[in-house]
A = this chain, B = another copy of it.
Amino acid sequence: MSKPRYTHLVQNLPSSTPFVGPETQERETGIKFDARIGANENGFGPSPKAVQAMQAAAAESWMYGDPESYDLRKAIAEAMGVQMANVVVGEGIDGLLGYLTRLLIEPGDTVVSSAGAYPTFNYHVAGFGGVVETVPYRDDHEDLQALIAKAKETDAKLIYFANPDNPMGTWHNGDDIAAQLEHIPDGCLLILDEAYVELAPDGTAAQYPVEHPKVIRMRTLSKGYGLAGARVGYALGAAELIKSFDKIRNHFGMNRASQAAALAALGDQDWLELTRERVAKARQRIADIAAQNGMTAIPSATNFVALDTGRDAAFAKAILEGLANKGVFIRMPFVAPQNRCIRVSCGPDLELDILAEKLPEVLKDLD
């Protein structure tokens, strides 16, 4: 029987997904999640102005989105103090990571990441035939110095570094990051993933010239702005690098209503401030729940908290499964030693109430 002739690369790729979605889990178990606090979604929701903008744009969905995302890029450029030529908008950071990987990675090329960092980046790298070299976390923090050293050692084309980090929620001061940039080897590009930076303490975002040839900064509307389902991310970098995305990106790939929603969300900084306050309270609440259950919250600069169970991955996994069976969706780090933890996303009190009620029950069952 004739079959399509897949590329050599694709023939050897597994059929996989970086994450199992909560809907998939619900379908498999038949149990609906009452508390959806596992995917670092922002349960406090997007700005009402963003919702209104999306609703107003709904009836205009017969039109394609502007392939240049002009208005959105203009607003981002102004807010960030850069030129529009330094900004590319894409289908979430996931989409932008895919494009960037495609631009740089061909079979056999090396990238560097932290062991247990964002798996979607690794998925993209594998998808283009690259090899991911890892360095361990240091005290639950990503270790930029070690990443750079490994990049030198392996002649890596890309370094992936998230600040704040996912899944641990830890962070570095922006100045410490900026001080490391000069050590990045020639021919290597640092991906500075700041997906959660709007929720981090002031000073977390590194300051450096946007034309720096060795860094690309990635941001998203998915986390602080609460628009994960709208798929809007952006990257900031040297104009030449940003322009290269035009060689391969899906020019008409942006959702038109999402463009409008993102523009409105960025314009509502009051809502972001309110979200920051709500997230800070939720982080404390999660830490309190953890303490009441014999766990330790790792300080977080994100909208989630990694809770150190004090035991091992099998125990953490058992908690995940126990909570899932009681309608609570959370996740956990994939790799040791971080996988001694469970990871809980910030959400409204109603959902954290459910966690507070169900977690002791699960732990009791595990005794």
Contacts and interface: CB of A to CB of B under 8 A. Distances in A.
Interface of A: 1-10, 13-19, 21, 23-24, 27, 36, 39, 41-46, 50-51, 54-55, 57-68, 70, 91-92, 94-95, 98, 102-106, 120, 127, 157, 186-189, 213-214, 222, 226-231, 240-241, 243-244, 246-248, 250-258, 261
A140 to B, nearest CB: 25
Given A7-B104, A104-B4, A187-B2, A42 B64 contact: no
A155 to B, nearest CB: 9
Contacts of A222: 64
A229 B91 contact: no
Given A39-B64, A94-B250, 17 more contacts: A2-B187, A2-B213, A7-B104, A7-B105, A10-B248, A13-B248, A15-B244, A15-B246, A16-B247, A24-B66, A24-B67, A36-B63, A46-B62, A50-B61, A64-B222, A95-B250, A231-B255
Contacts of A106: 7-9
Interface secondary structure of A, over-half rule: loop
* Complex copy number for this chain: 2
Given A18-B251, A257-B230, A5 B95 contact: no
Contact of A104 (B5, B68, B189, B229): B5
Given A19-B252, A21-B68, A68-B23, A63 B247 contact: no
A62 B41 contact: yes
B46 A228 contact: no
A105 B55 CA distance: 39
B261 A228 contact: no
B187 A253 contact: no
A152 to B, nearest CB: 13
